[in-house]
A and B are shown apart, each in its own frame.
Chain A
Amino acid sequence: MNIRQLSIFLENKVGRASAVIDALSESNINISALSIADTAEYGIMRIIADNPQKAKDVLTDTGVMVKITNVLAIPMGHKPGELSRLLKILTDSDISIEYMYAFVNEHNGGAVLITKTNNPEGAIEALGKNKITPLTENELF
Chain B
Amino acid sequence: MWNKEIETMPREQIKALQSERLVKQVKRMYENVPAFKARMDEKNLKPSDIHGIEDLSKLPFSYKSDLRDNYPYGLFAVPMKDIVRVHASSGTTGKQIVVGYTENDLEVWADAIARMLTEIGVDANSFIQVSFGYGLFTGGLGAHYGAQKVGATVIPMSTGNTARQIQTMIDFGTTVLFSTPSYAMYLAEEIEAMGVKDQLKLKVGIFGAEPWTEDMRKTLEDKLGIKAYDIYGLSEIMGPGVACECTAQAGMHVWEDLFIPEIIDPETEEVLPAGKSGELVFTTLAKEGFPLIRYRTKDICSINLEPCKCGRTHLRINKPSGRSDDMLIIRGVNVFPSQIEEVLLKVSNNAITPNYQIIVDRVNNTDTLDVNVEMSESMFADEVRSIERTEKQITEMLRSTLGIGAKVHLVNPKSIERSEGKAKRVIDNRKL
Say if the beta carbon of A106 comes within 8 Å of chain B: no
The answer to whether B375 touches A44, judged by C-beta atoms less than 8 angstroms apart, is no
B162 contacts partner chain A, Cβ-Cβ < 8 Å: no
Q: A69 at the A/B interface (Cβ < 8 Å)?
A: yes
CA separation between A63 and B376, bound complex, in Å? Answer: 11
Given contacts A11-B411, A11-B412, A42-B410, contact A116 B382 (CB under 8 A): yes
Is B413's CB under 8 angstroms from A41's CB? no
Task: Write the B356-390 contact mask toward A (1 if CB under 8 angstroms, else 0).
Answer: 00000000000000000001110011111001100
User: Which residues of chain B have C-beta atoms less than 8 A from A67's C-beta?
Assistant: 377, 380-382
The answer for the CA separation of A27 and B384 in the assembled complex, in Å, is 27
Q: How far is the CA of A44 from the CA of B414 in the complex (A)?
A: 18
Which chain B residues border A38 with CB–CB below 8 Å?
384
A9 and B384 contact, CB distance less than 8 A: no
Given A9-B375, A69-B382, verify A63-B387 contact (CB < 8 Å). Answer: no
Report yes or no: A39 in contact with B384, Cβ–Cβ below 8 A: yes
Residue B396 CB within 8 A of the other chain: no
B413 partner, pick from A42, A65, A116, beta carbons under 8 A? A65
Write the chain A residue with the least CB distance to B382. Answer: A7
Query: Smallest Cβ distance from A41 to chain B, in angstroms?
Result: 7
Chain B residues whose C-beta falls within 8 Å of the C-beta of A43 in the assembled complex = 384
**What residues of chain B lie closer than 8 Å to A60, measured between beta carbons?**
413
Q: Please tell me if the beta carbons of A9 and B383 are within 8 angstroms of each other in the complex.
A: no
Query: How far, in angstroms, from A116 to B383 measured CA to CA in the complex?
Result: 10
Decide: A44 and B384 in contact? CB cutoff 8 A. Answer: yes
Q: At the interface, is chain B mostly helix, strand, loop or mixed? A: loop
Q: Are A46 and B384 in contact (CB under 8 A)?
A: no
Alpha-carbon distance A37/B412, docked complex (angstroms): 17
Contact partner, B387, options A16, A44, A46, Cβ 8 Å: A44
| A39-B388, A44-B387 as given contacts; A64 in contact with B380, CB under 8 Å | no
Q: Which bucket holds chain A's interface residue count?
A: 20 to 34
Whether A108 sits at the interface, judged by CB under 8 Å, is no
Of A12, A16, A41, A46, the residue contacting B382 (CB under 8 A) is A46
Q: Is B87 interfacial (CB 8 A cutoff)?
A: no
Chain B 382-419 per-residue mask, 1 if CB under 8 angstroms from chain A, else 0 = 11100110010000000000000000011111110000
Contact mask A11-47 → B, CB, 8 Å, 1/0? 1100010000000000000000000011101111010
Band of interface residues on B? 10 to 19
Query: Which residue of the partner chain B has the closest CB to A69?
Result: B382
Known: A39-B388, A41-B391. A63 touches B383 (CB 8 A): no
Residues of A within 8 A of B410 (CB): 9, 11, 41-42
Residues of A near B388 (CB, < 8 A) are 39, 41-42
Q: Nearest CB to that of A65 among chain B residues?
A: B375
In angstroms, Cα B378 to Cα A67, docked, is: 11
When C-beta atoms are compared, the residue in chain A nearest to B375 turns out to be A65
Q: Is the CB of B413 within 8 A of A64?
A: yes
Contact status of A12 and B380, CB under 8 A, knowing A63-B415, A65-B375: no
Given contacts A11-B412, A12-B409, contact A65 B380 (CB under 8 A): yes
Contacts of B383 on A, CB cut-off 8 Å? Answer: 44, 98
4 other A-B residue contacts (CB within 8 Å) besides A64-B413, A65-B375:
A11-B412, A60-B413, A63-B413, A65-B413
Provide a sorted-by-A list of 21 A–B residue pairs whose CB atoms are within 8 angstroms.
A7-B382, A9-B412, A11-B375, A11-B409, A11-B412, A11-B415, A16-B412, A39-B387, A41-B391, A42-B388, A42-B391, A44-B384, A60-B413, A63-B412, A63-B413, A64-B412, A64-B413, A65-B377, A67-B377, A67-B382, A98-B383
B interface residues, Cβ below 8 angstroms from A: 375-377, 380-384, 387-388, 391, 409-415
The 5 closest A-B pairs by CB, nearest first: A7-B382, A63-B414, A65-B375, A69-B382, A37-B384
